[in-house]
Structure 1
């Protein structure tokens, strides 16, 4: 439901006073705690609404026409920082295969949950699609802050911290820094000033990693957007591990925040973890497996989704005996135990959890064939398993074993290599 607001002047009614001497008393002043006349609260001057919506239409037309000057002319000159970042944003988006750009009035109900600023604030939805990479256009909710009068309004901001927190908005690279874009063979790489010197090298590595995993995963488009920028705040917020231990992360991009429709799956890498050709290849293949699987592993326990990604990432470069020996050495004398299912996978001894999940997947495919992993994922996706006990029951129903029994057999298999 859209909520609209109307603001009314408040009339202060004073009781009549009996007059003496035939002359009226002087007018009593208004209460000292109230203004002499009513004024709209900050951000709520509805008299500016028509002019503000006309400005939104002007900005949308500028986006469609590719008219940078017209777009930036809608900004209040005194909002210097906003003008600077908007100019940077325009130049960034011009480097992207951006299409279907639009601006529209959003859900005005959100205005009850944000702090007012300027003369008028309105929720504005910005829509854009990366052509060839996004299945659907992506809409993000903005809060436009206007200043001016009924004749002319200008824009001073398009973001609101409260609204960002409520919607869970995470910035894309083009929102926070100047970007360099590389595009080759269905891979769109986004870099910043600190990573652009290695952009061509990393771009080639991403393409090679994509080609390496394609024969090992179910069919997918093979097209992907990858981020490699020095601002890792977004990665930090998405990761279940500390940022220093997070080398990369794959994530869905929703068509609308809070919605269920996925526009694309992308991944981002932490630049401090991309040195070294061997490790970089493993990292990129791992994240690309997550992208390739997309929503296919929805409902899967963490050990299965992460184990599959590691299994494919290493399988593309090492034969089965090499992997068995490497995993046996990494896991040492570890005793059999159940596999972690949720966020606990990333806590504590996360490296060993990754290795153990990798081993379990490698053992299952070696003894039952590659389809065992995809069939197990499909079972979790169809039936779900919200609790650890449900996971164990589903694994036993599909494989006839508990995860602890799988680990015991997998450890024995690895140590016999």
Structure 2
């Protein structure tokens, strides 16, 4: 599945194919000094605030140096659940190629009720980069809660649901469970305790899928991060369909909530991780989205998904693809192809029809015709379905209804 810069669209599980800003202090200024010009909340405990800001520097240093004991010493041990998740989070990051790590004081004006019942809440910008995979560091906006405990200032929380909702935060696998990380060449895959048993086979299938997709997009680096974990929180948030209908979702990772894009990654449904028959198809589809990146952000949804599905199915002989399409589409009739997210209301029909249309264009007119159509939408000024149809007609000489009629006839004549 592939979405725009907000969300990338989803691949359906079908039975037949399984399926800087000026005036700011330097970034390396310690947190205590960075905050010298910030006005504290009225009535706030300045001692607590100063020590809390110092704690930011301690935690950053501990994380950069890999000092687990020092990192966990900043957490309130009486908060057993939070202590456990912090230990797990530290261990998870240690398994990843993490760089450019920093904790910075965020925008305090955007956070209400800083002080409450002896607690201090501060906005914190956590920044890191997956070296070799992210084009720039990625910043996660957090809210840390501090308390005085036995003469010390300690951390008792690091998230705020409302802030997370506003920023559209989607937890990564390392935020949710113990992870296992596998790396081979340009592939970085993240598993958890439930999916790691399939890791060796998944890595092999990912390598095969990468080779196929690079043949279609030779300019693509072939470097990416894939999530194969059992938690479907991210898929549920990003997919235009239900989790059960969604085999995978490719998505942009923003350097900050308002962009730009630092990387494209993809996650697959845990049912796919263990499905030897479905994995290759799903991996090729999602990797086509990753390889295309922003190239098709402005394409109609049918073209976004159909082009990826064409790549996914391209390993099969063309006559076999035609016969499969004819079987999947049954008695379906020609229709105008859906350019919006309404595409996902009837995903089985939508995916299969988009796939056969894109396959028909690529096979009968040459694959360059398909990618030229995708590229044409990057510069086209399209604000309506009619204008979308106009681009297709200008490029191919047909409406999408006419294209679908010809594609269906082509498939059924195999």
Whether TM exceeds 0.5 here: the answer is yes
The residue that corresponds to 1:170 in the other structure is: 170
Distance 1:79 1:57 in 2: 21
The residue that corresponds to 1:289 in the other structure is: 288
Higher relative contact order (CA 8 A, sep 6+): 2
Residues 144 and 157, structure 1, Cα contact 8 Å, conserved in 2: yes
Distance 1:329 1:117 in 2: 65
Residues 128 and 139, structure 2, Cα contact 8 Å, conserved in 1: yes
2:369 corresponds to 1:379: no
Deviations 1:98-136 (A, max 9, x none): 111111111112203889575211111111111111111
Residues 300 and 384, structure 1, Cα contact 8 Å, conserved in 2: no
Higher alpha-carbon Rg: 1
Q: How much has 1:198 moved relative to structure 2? A: 0.9
Q: Secondary structure at the match of 1:132?
A: coil
The residue that corresponds to 2:313 in the other structure is: 314
Q: How many residues align?
A: 380
More deviation, 104-113/245-254 = 104-113
More deviation, 272-281/372-381 = 272-281
C-alpha root-mean-square deviation of aligned residues, in Å? 2.0
Q: How much has 1:65 moved relative to structure 2? A: 1.3
Q: Of 343, 353, 357, which aligns to 1:345?
A: 343
The residue that corresponds to 1:61 in the other structure is: 61
Q: Of 397, 401, 415, which aligns to 2:398?
A: 401
Q: Secondary structure at the match of 1:103?
A: strand
Q: Secondary structure at the match of 1:156?
A: strand
Distance 1:269 1:62 in 2: 33
Residues 267 and 291, structure 1, Cα contact 8 Å, conserved in 2: yes
The residue that corresponds to 1:195 in the other structure is: 195
> For residues 116 and 408 of structure 1, do their structure 2 counterparts lie closer, same or farther at Cα, with a shift above 3 Å needed?
farther
Gap runs ≥5 in structure 1? 9-39
Residues 195 and 273, structure 2, Cα contact 8 Å, conserved in 1: no
The residue that corresponds to 2:333 in the other structure is: 335
The residue that corresponds to 2:252 in the other structure is: 252
Q: How much has 1:216 moved relative to structure 2? A: 1.5
Deviations 1:126-162 (A, max 9, x none): 1111111111111101101011189741111111111
Residues 362 and 369, structure 2, Cα contact 8 Å, conserved in 1: yes
Q: How much has 1:91 moved relative to structure 2? A: 0.5
The residue that corresponds to 1:210 in the other structure is: 210
Q: How much has 1:387 moved relative to structure 2? A: 2.3
The residue that corresponds to 1:271 in the other structure is: 270
Distance 1:332 1:73 in 2: 63
Q: Kindly report structure 1 stretches of 4+ aligned residues shifted beyond 3 Å.
A: 1-8, 44-47, 113-118, 149-152
The residue that corresponds to 1:136 in the other structure is: 136
> For residues 163 and 369 of structure 1, do their structure 2 counterparts lie closer, same or farther at Cα, with a shift above 3 Å needed?
same
Q: Secondary structure at the match of 2:85?
A: helix
Deviations 1:16-47 (A, max 9, x none): xxxxxxxxxxxxxxxxxxxxxxxx4xxx5444
